[in-house]
Amino acid sequence: MSIRPALLLIDIQHDFLEGGALAVPFGNEVIPIANTMMERFDTIVATQDWHPPAHGSFASAHQRLPYEVIDLHGLPQVLWPDHCVQGSFGAQFATALHSTQIDHITQKGTDPTVDSYSGFADNGGRIETDLHQTLQAKNINTLYICGLATDYCVKFTVLDALTRGYTVFLIVDGCRGVNQQFNDSQEAIFEMERAGVQLIASVDVPNYKAT
């Protein structure tokens, strides 16, 4: 079977960068790597966290403190600071990201009753986004993934991609994690490896760009 690859960028948005509402430590470091990777692919897809105001994952919606864990409609939910609210500056892609090269954007987290770490479906696996359908329409079977954050949206997108039959490469140096616990990102990488992801450094990603 021939390789039909795409680059999948995860949530490289202002609120996850330095100074953002839910800043990922060193998150800005993924931007130049993502830009370089975009020069090597003909198909580039990105996910975008896109929450309505008062989303159920926001601590403010429950008058609780950020990072508490509650039951949200039958699912454990970390309560986050308000972030990536639809139409806000924080929800926009990083200014330095070459976002005009993105072919398709999948918005997630739009249902106020459930969070969506994965780009493919909500956390309960109840409602699919358009990502799988879009990739299938483009005959994509191999994904190279980077972005934010390793231990949440990257991890769950990778795991869902594997269960849907994609060959998945994680561009390790193109990801950064939240790391509420100091080793969360490393544990996430171990989990992804056990599920079948292949780890790769950005310098080793082939150039799939058609000439």
Q: How sure is the predictor about 180, in pLDDT bands with cuts at 50, 70 and 90? A: confident
Q: Is the pLDDT of residue 1 over 80?
A: no
What's residue 210's pLDDT?
84
How far is it, in rounded angstroms, from Cα 46 to Cα 62? 30
CB 125 within 8 A of CB 159: no
Identify which of 45, 16, 15 has the alpha carbon closest to the alpha carbon of residue 135: 45
The pTM score is 0.97
**Each residue's pLDDT tens digit, 14-54:** 999 999 999 999 999 999 999 999 999 999 999 999 999 99
How does DSSP classify residue 182?
T
**Each residue's pLDDT tens digit, 119-161:** 999 999 999 999 999 999 999 999 999 999 999 999 999 999 9
What domains appear along the chain, each with residue ranges and CATH number? 5-52+89-204 (3.40.50.850)
So which residues are the catalytic ones? Answer: 11, 108, 153
Give residue for tokens 């994952």.
57
